[in-house]
Structure 1
């Protein structure tokens, strides 16, 4: 958002960023436009807000057949292109491949499958982050878009990756998880916390969007795991349940 220079691209790649085909969606104002002097780097200055809106604009205008969603705080490994090509040459009918990410210290960002998985189970699919995704536009074309009601800047501020992935899965597209490290990502900021009611307001909409008929079962599962991991307390259950119900109701109303 509000970039005035392409300098933020420099630390993202081992070689100069102009060696790559890049599309920047810069959400900004009309008096703060970003420009590119490199033929390989295209810029779209957008005057709308919302993470999912930005990603839909990127997918709609991307020229490449294989697309990565690149946050501006990551650093790609020097062989990331070769890894992507190898996976999709072996699996050309794959819509999305989810790769591994490491912390700056070189340790895995989270727990990943030890071997390649084709159409992983529900919990594994829900764990895929946008920076781990490589999208195959020759398979998905423009059929599936990010739901603009979800993601930063939208009414429901999280969950856009899961909604997108399950939209593909429910339409029969192939999704794989690949045990190859693609990039480095900084550790999550533990101080960025939201209240139980805010979190479960989004979760209620998210769970209903994805699981619909099994809404109550998956909401119970979510609450159970959050209790088990110490993310909420027993005294928070009533607040969480009511907030989820409001999120579900508001999604229906929209």
Structure 2
């Protein structure tokens, strides 16, 4: 008896009229078994859906009045229907072979809960360090590697299908404006989910992600501080000093503002946030 190939749904989160125009400009290959779900935050707007998206039978657009990127991603997760779900932003160009590789990875390993893949910069290179062969993620992440949301694929009916992004973290959150993907994976690792990092190109992202651009928003520092304190509860203070020094050396942050806000984020998280849920403690 032939097993049905797993279906894949690419969940694109976007905001406002400019965001939906970026989605319309994305490269979204039309492939059997692959569909696209766009979670579109339209706060205070009455925007029309671009014709390029409306004409696609493999694209489904759902609107939400919520605020914050993590809420937007959770809205997509709550409405997704495919076997495998891929987190996505609104400025990517997908590669057919990459989408096929995601389905193949989950088809080949029924125990795989989360697959992590790779994006390129469109110039033949990468913006961060990746291992050269597949790596099982059980404890800490590989040296010099950090996770980006658009690299994460989830088996919907598996253990990770019930995971959600913490809504106190990420762009649009009140205090902790990054770190939602690290916390998402930390929750999965703590629960014993099987996570494998595959060095396979999934898409092209042109431009810098948060981890590679100059940091000016104190909320980003605070999110980094909160997540670092969660992952390294015994050594987070010296790690703050080292991260601030390295950031200053790279020219992407100022030492003392970074250090102060790292500490603020860790304290805020300890006093105000339940880290392994969706929302802040009452």
**Short-chain TM bin:** 0.7 to 0.9
Corresponding residue for 2:279?
none
What's the RMSD between the two structures over aligned residues? 3.0
Cα distance change, pair 10–247 in 1 and its aligned pair in 2 (3 A): closer
> Which stretch has the larger CA shift, 157-166 or 41-50?
41-50
What does the per-residue CA deviation read over 1:175-229, in whole Å, with 9 as the maximum and x for residues that have no partner? Answer: 110011111111217765316x554322232223x33xx4350331243244246
Taking the aligned partners of 1:120 and 1:28, their CA distance within structure 2 comes to 38
Taking the aligned partners of 2:98 and 2:267, their CA distance within structure 1 comes to 42
Corresponding residue for 1:109?
127
Shift of 1:148: 0.3
> Which stretch has the larger CA shift, 127-136 or 223-232?
223-232
Corresponding residue for 2:170?
151
**8 Å contact kept, 1:120–1:177:** no
Aligned residues: 248
Cα distance change, pair 27–18 in 1 and its aligned pair in 2 (3 A): farther
1:174 matched to 2:207? The reply is no
Corresponding residue for 2:208?
188
**8 Å contact kept, 1:204–1:248:** yes
Structure 2: gaps of 5 or more residues = 1-14, 274-282
Corresponding residue for 1:249?
267
Give the TM-score normalised by structure 1.
0.83
Taking the aligned partners of 1:18 and 1:47, their CA distance within structure 2 comes to 31
Give the TM-score normalised by structure 2.
0.76
Cα distance change, pair 37–77 in 1 and its aligned pair in 2 (3 A): closer
**8 Å contact kept, 1:18–1:38:** no
1:29 matched to 2:43? The reply is yes
Cα distance change, pair 143–14 in 1 and its aligned pair in 2 (3 A): closer
Corresponding residue for 1:58?
76
**8 Å contact kept, 1:2–1:32:** no
What does the per-residue CA deviation read over 1:63-110, in whole Å, with 9 as the maximum and x for residues that have no partner? Answer: 111111121111111212321122112222112111111111121232
Alignment of 1:214-225 (within 5 A): 214-225=232-243
Q: Structure 2 residue aligned with 1:136, among 113, 132, 155?
A: 155
Corresponding residue for 2:280?
none
Q: Structure 1 or 2: larger helix share?
A: 1
Cα distance change, pair 250–114 in 1 and its aligned pair in 2 (3 A): same
Taking the aligned partners of 2:141 and 2:20, their CA distance within structure 1 comes to 37
